[in-house]
Chains A and B, each alone.
Chain A
Amino acid sequence: MRRARLLPYLLVAPSMAFLAALFLFPLVQTISLAFHADGRWSLGKFATMADDLDFGDAVGNTFKLVMIVVPAQLILALAMALMLPHLRRGRDLVLWVWSIPLGVSDLAAGLVWLAILTDRGYLNTILFKLGIIAAPTAWLTYETPFALFAAIIVAEMWRATAIVFLILVAGVQLVPKEFAEAAEIFGASPWQRLTRVTLPLLKPSIQTALILRTVLAFEMFAMVITLGGRNFPVLVSEAFNWQDTNQDYGVAAAYATLVMAVSLAATAFYLIVMRVRPEDRS
């Protein structure tokens, strides 16, 4: 009996110890690194971070990206998730094809889109054949900030809509068909059925998808480096530069702490704004 009561703890202990060593410990370490300078508690690393020329751009770029990409992905993924049940044939195939980008890293996605958007790439070939441009044209330089920004948005839409889509599809499957049918019998238009029945019932899934996606969007960096080099700094690419190029672990940790704070704030924001009653989660 005694052993049976201990058993769950024994089973959980290894993973607990692992997460303590490789999640909680580096978490505390990161924060402590960020708040120390010259062996004392200080905000010096944050001051260095904020004084850096690229800091303002990094913050602005990151937020601009998240605020455009995340809502756009939610709308696209919602459309895809609502289209899927109406497919008569090949539903599994379509589901697989639409899920493929889920397995593609942001670095790989950056390389994929680089093949399309580079000077002698496929986009320029099409533009050339349409007679819009006369010769290979560069889109991804600091001289074309808008095109670069648009390229990053398109690549991120391509790569990371799949995760939102899958969470929403899982949610749609949980919504009883009877609800929409009942609404239809009472004369609700398709739009009313969407906004009054389906969306409220999908709220828990939408909330989960938004939290997960926003946290991941704040983490994006390899794609930005692949497409734009250092022309489009974001928070995590700056953290990487401070660690890798400047070898100042404190400032890198300050960036990491900032990213974590922003991620937590976003999570709290979604939890409060879209409050979901526990009984609505199923």
Chain B
Amino acid sequence: MRALRRGIFTTGVAALCAWTLIPIYLVALSAIGGESVVNAWPKPFWPTQLSLATLGTFMNLSGVWPATWQSAQVALLCMLLSIVLGLPAGYALARFAFAGSNLYRLLILLTRAFPVGILALPLTVTFIRIGLYDTALGVALVHTALALPFAILVSSSLFIGIPREIEEAAWVFGCSRLSAFFRVVLPLATPGIAAIAIFAFVISWNEVFAAAVLTVRHRTLTAFLLSVLSESPLHVQFAGGLLLVVPSVLFIFLVRRYLFAIWGITNR
């Protein structure tokens, strides 16, 4: 009886793992196999015709690579902005009790109840006027509005976890507030900050709506794929899909220890 229950349990876990992984395997198969696999019927479930030629077409897909590069630029900018703006605010929330801190927290939580990406709609006009339309920076700004609340909340919990006493000891030994932060606090917080940065990158990399609305010629990968959905051949679309999925999977692996800091925090 016990063994049977254990068997059912293990099967369930394995089935759920398969349910997550098999779709990714299949899109990879379709993307790397190129046209011949996409048109094959019935489809092989193994990479039968994998050759340098199909890989070559994958590397030469028109439009996909410039868009990937654009996406990378936007995501890096978003990452940078989230860290530069988010860390000081997180530090302030963690170390100071100041009037208005609750109101500030509320504003940050409020962004959660709104579909922030959609707010890119009116920004189109503003961005055209100030020359940010169709630029990497413009898209990155909107993506930062999405990632910043996370950066602030997570970095604040990160700094709370670093004992104040360590910092105070540094002051006693003659460090200024700033140098104590850079020499003592920052090294301890580095892994967590890396996780925040990666998370900001993924948020930006995956965002579709704002990127599609704010670009025309310099499309990000998501915006490019959305705009060519109806006209481009399926193997191009699958290749794009694979390019979207792969970095995200790697990043989730890198930040797996921090996933709870990022999502568990919403309970507080």
Contacts and interface: CB of A to CB of B under 8 A. Distances in A.
B206 A129 contact: no
Interface stretch (A37-45, A47-55, A109-117, A139-147): A109-117
Contacts of A35: none
Nearest to B10: A87
Contacts, number: 275
Contacts of B113: 211, 215, 263-264, 267
B175 interface: no
A14 B85 contact: yes
Interface in B209-268: 209, 212-213, 222, 225-226, 229-230, 234, 237-238, 240-241, 244-245, 248-249, 251-253, 256, 259-260, 263-264, 266-268
Contact of A29 (B9, B98, B122, B253): B122
Nearest to A106: B208
Interface string B19-43: 1110110110111000000111111
17 contacts: A14-B85, A19-B149, A22-B144, A83-B12, A86-B9, A94-B17, A97-B17, A100-B24, A105-B222, A105-B244, A106-B208, A163-B263, A167-B264, A212-B266, A218-B115, A253-B122, A256-B121
B88 A12 contact: yes
Interface of A: 5, 7-9, 11-12, 14-16, 18-19, 22-23, 26-27, 29-30, 33, 80, 83, 86-87, 92, 94-108, 111-116, 118, 120-122, 124-125, 128-129, 136, 158, 163, 166-167, 169-171, 173-174, 204-205, 208, 211-212, 215-216, 218-219, 221-222, 225-226, 229, 236, 239-240, 243-244, 249, 252-253, 256, 259-260, 263-264, 267, 281-282
Contacts of B29: 115
Interface string B78-101: 000100111011011101101001
Contacts of A95: 256, 259
A239 B118 contact: yes
A120 B43 contact: yes
Contact residues of A: prevailing secondary structure = helix
B267 A281 contact: yes
Interface of B: 9, 12-13, 16-17, 19-21, 23-24, 26-27, 29-31, 38-43, 45, 81, 84-86, 88-89, 91-93, 95-96, 98, 101, 104, 107-108, 111-126, 141-142, 144-145, 148-149, 152, 177, 202, 205-209, 212-213, 222, 225-226, 229-230, 234, 237-238, 240-241, 244-245, 248-249, 251-253, 256, 259-260, 263-264, 266-268
